Structure 1
Amino acid sequence: MTQHSDVVVIGGGQSGLAAGYHLRRLGIEHVILDAQAAPGGAWQHTWDSLQLFSPAAYSSLPGRFMPAQEGEVYPDAAHVVSYLADYEKRYELPVQRGAWVSAVHRDGPYLRVETSSGDWRARAVVSATGTWTRPFLPAVPGRRDFTGRQLHTVQYRSPAEFTGQRVIVVGGGNSGAQIAADLTGTAELTWVTQRLPRYLADDIDGRALFDAATARRRALDVGRTDTGGVASLGDIVAVPPVRAARDAGLLCAKPMFTRLTATGVEWADGARAEADVVIWCTGFRPALAPFAALRLRGARGHIATDGTRAVDEPRLHLLGYGDWTGPASATLIGIGRPARDAARQIRDLLG
């Protein structure tokens, strides 16, 4: 049986909850379809030691401050999961769990959303599917020849399972730095980055990153020179574990290797390193497969947007994928404004 709702939000993580909050405030009927079995979005699947880049008060969704975590300046992932579960309950957001969305089709005045639990027809759809389910692995020569274990950021949990092993961590962003720091003292670590690691100043955290991303978007919107945004500040936030490992001389990055061998990696000058494990901290792509039938994908796999609204399908809004759908919109603090703007435009669309 097909069900109906004015708005279907796909994804019940931080972006979907922020959308639900603003839709609820405007009195717009909606449902939030989430494939997960429990609240928390991707945060419930991260590695054990992951910490936010900002204090709790600067990592909040609209309407409710995240409480501080006792003994921590920067909350961990478990604290975020608890906060998101409480947020969902506090605002009585209409989340349906275990609803896998397979496709979205045009259906006259509606968009038809196909799910594992039946179809929905909606006058507008908000995509908040995130990126966690689409890890990116680079096409490095020899990757299929390596006989050791390969995993991505999404599969890493704790250093305990790598005790005494030779581990190569690939990636010079925050995930690569944090996981490399996590493994120091437990594994025989080799950290590999595309370029020299660029740490932000130790006193800079997510508050400054959000400000930088917002300033860049405002500059571009009015035709001023690109400020460079977050990228102009550096690639790695020096959260306490990363800072401690760096200052102890334990985070010494090597340049990117040219290929994998059966037993390790090889650099352009012929130097080699043996490895039992390669951990690819090489980022993600937007999880937009359900929208393939709408034929909206363009360069770099993105859907062209005006703010959050899809240019070629104004009934579709995209939230939380990065700067192309709102400044810092992939962060807890950054999703509030684009979610508000999307809800207001949907209100206008519905009349």
Structure 2
Amino acid sequence: MPTAPLTAVVIGGGQAGLATGFYLRRSGLVPGQDFVIIDAAAEPGGAWARMWPTLRTFSPTQYSSLPGWMMPPWPHGGYPLASHVVDYLTRYEERYQLAVRRSVAARAVTRSVGGVVVGTDAGDLFAEHVISATGTWSRPFVPTYPGTFAGRQLHTADYRRAADLAGQRVLIVGGGNSAAQILAEVSSVAETTWVTLRPPRFLPDDVDGRALFEIATKRHQARLRGQADTGGVGGLGDIVMVESVRDARNRDVLHARRPFTHLIDHGVRWDDGTDSPYDTIIWCTGFRPALGHLTSLGLRAPNGLIPTDGTQALKEPRLHLIGYGDWTGPASATLIGAGRTARDLVRELYPPRGPRLPTTVGTSPPRPPTQRGGLGF
């Protein structure tokens, strides 16, 4: 273990980790020397590199950017595909020379005199602070139902393309954006049923991630001032009407029914006692924060989350969390939200202490992003 600790270790090299790295660097810290970013994946792009290729962002590129460098325009109109974001994050990492150490997974974070120790599969890292930005994609959640199903089961994290389900009877479970986009695709080649806990709520066609982020931010600021909770985006709806979902609406397939009660061998049983056969169930039922590396700190509340004041863990001030959702910053799991949350986190920890490093050293003029076949968002 080194005698002098690093200033910080950032765990996770996706959008939240990169945004944090940008502001750490901007405050005068040197990547790879004063702080390091580690990431378990071998390739850049964070969770975007593991999602299905046809998933789109919910906002135009100018509202889907990290700090310092705006995402290049999507040349095909509409909202960008996942591959565009992967390319942007790859070049962002290079542009700011963030020196992410890849294929390095954090196993456990423990307390030590004068700092914290991040145990990894490539050795221990000793730091004054640790910033956890591991996201949720590695922890897909599937609810428990009585019975068993002998057909194929996928989670959002496993889905790749509708053509794999052509001609099948497919049950899609979940009421969010992922479910709506997957339903829109699969319904064009298969017989689909959509199940949601409550009737799906669709945003107006002209409302996208820009408005959602600003509303979430205003709600957060009001709560900090002790004002009444406005309810945030809840009154507007949940599902952004991207092109594929609008097409599904035009085909009259955006109809959902209440949940089933049991799984059966080749389908499900509804609350009226009737059965329906299915070949595949797709669980679009969300994710849980990937916090296993923090278990040894003993910080989790009964709800499974770590109580925080902003991004700082209440019971371990040397730990900050970013990118897990609104509980770690307004819309911090989005591209634009991650950047703003990272800015506030770094300002609190490390006010600028010297000349800022140039923001474009070692870079050439941006080139148009290339679409990468098979890469997800």
TM range (shorter): over 0.9
> What's 1:26 paired with?
27
Establish whether residue 97 from structure 1 lines up as the match of residue 102 from structure 2.
yes
Find out whether 1:216 has 2:257 as its counterpart. no
Distance 1:48 1:265 in 2: 29
**Deviations 1:266-321 (Å, cap 9, x if unpaired)?**
11101221011100000011000100111110132111111111111111110011
What does residue 288 of structure 1 align with?
291
Note if contact 1:56-1:73 (Cα within 8 Å) is conserved in structure 2: no
Matched, 1:81 2:82: no
SS of the residue corresponding to residue 207 of structure 2 reads coil
CA-to-aligned-CA distance 1:130-175 (integer Å, 9 cap, x gap) = 0000111111222xx1101111100000011111111100001001
Q: Is residue 47 from structure 1 mapped to residue 52 from structure 2 by the alignment?
A: yes
Q: Which residue of 1 aligns with 2:119?
A: 114
Q: Secondary structure at the match of 2:332?
A: coil
Q: Which moved more, 1:317-326 or 1:245-254?
A: 245-254
**In structure 2, how many angstroms separate the alpha carbons of the residues matched to 1:257 and 1:203?**
33
Q: 1:278 aligns with which of 278, 281, 284?
A: 281
**Is 2:136 the counterpart of 1:135?**
no
1:238 maps to which residue?
A: 241
Cα offset, 1:94, TM superposition: 2.1
Secondary structure at the aligned position of 1:9 is classed as strand
* 8 A contact 1:10–1:16 mirrored in 2: yes
Distance 1:313 1:131 in 2: 21
The whole-number CA distance in structure 1 between the counterparts of 2:28 and 2:220 is 30
Instruction: State the Cα distance separating 1:2 from its structure 2 match.
Output: 5.9
Gaps of at least 5 residues in structure 2 are 354-377
Counterparts of 1:56-75 in structure 2 under 5 Å? 56-75=61-80
Alignment length (residue pairs): 348
Between the aligned partners of 1:286 and 1:185, the Cα distance in structure 2 is 33
Native 8 Å contact 1:2 1:118 kept in 2: no
For 1:227 and 1:78, locate their aligned partners in 2 and report how far apart those are by CA, in whole Å.
36
Structure 2 length-normalised TM: 0.90
> Aligned equivalents of 1:57 and 1:345: distance in 2?
27
Partner of 1:299: 302
Q: Does 1:159 align with 2:162?
A: yes
Q: 1:310 aligns with which of 298, 308, 313?
A: 313
Match of 1:38 among 33, 36, 43: 43
Deviation at 1:251, TM superposition (A): 2.0
The answer for the alignment partner of 1:199 in structure 2 is 202
Cα pair 1:30 1:94 within 8 Å, conserved:
no
User: Structure 1: which 5+ residue stretches go unaligned?
Assistant: none
Q: Which moved more, 1:49-58 or 1:263-272?
A: 263-272
C-alpha displacement at 1:47, in angstroms?
1.0
Aligned to 2:202, the other structure's residue is in SS state coil
* Letter matched to residue 98 of structure 1: S
Q: 8 Å contact 1:110–1:121 — kept in the other structure?
A: yes
Q: 2:264 is matched with which residue: 261, 265, 288?
A: 261
Letter in 2 for 1:273: S
* 2:335 maps to amino acid: L
Report % sequence identity. 56
- Name the counterpart of 2:193: 190
Q: What SS does the aligned partner of 1:154 have?
A: coil
2:314 is equivalent to residue 340 of structure 1: no
- Separation (CA, whole Å) in 2 of partners of 1:161 and 1:128: 33
- Helix, strand or coil: the match of 1:61? coil
Other-structure match for 2:358: none
**C-alpha deviation, 1:230, in angstroms:** 2.0
Structure 2 residue identity aligned to 1:335? A
Distance in 2 (CA, whole Å) between partners of 1:220 and 1:126 is: 24
Please provide the CA RMSD for this pair: 1.5
**Larger relative contact order, structure 1 or 2 (CA cutoff 8 Å, min sep 6):** 2
Q: CA deviation at 1:177?
A: 0.5
Q: CA deviation digits over 1:61-102, x for unaligned, max 9?
A: 011111111112200100000000010000000200000111
Q: Determine if contact 1:214/1:327 at 8 Å carries over to the other structure.
A: yes
* Corresponding residue for residue 128 of structure 2: 123
Q: Which residue of 2 aligns with 1:11?
A: 12
Cα distance in 2 for partners of 1:203, 1:97 equals 39
Matched letter for residue 127 of structure 1: S
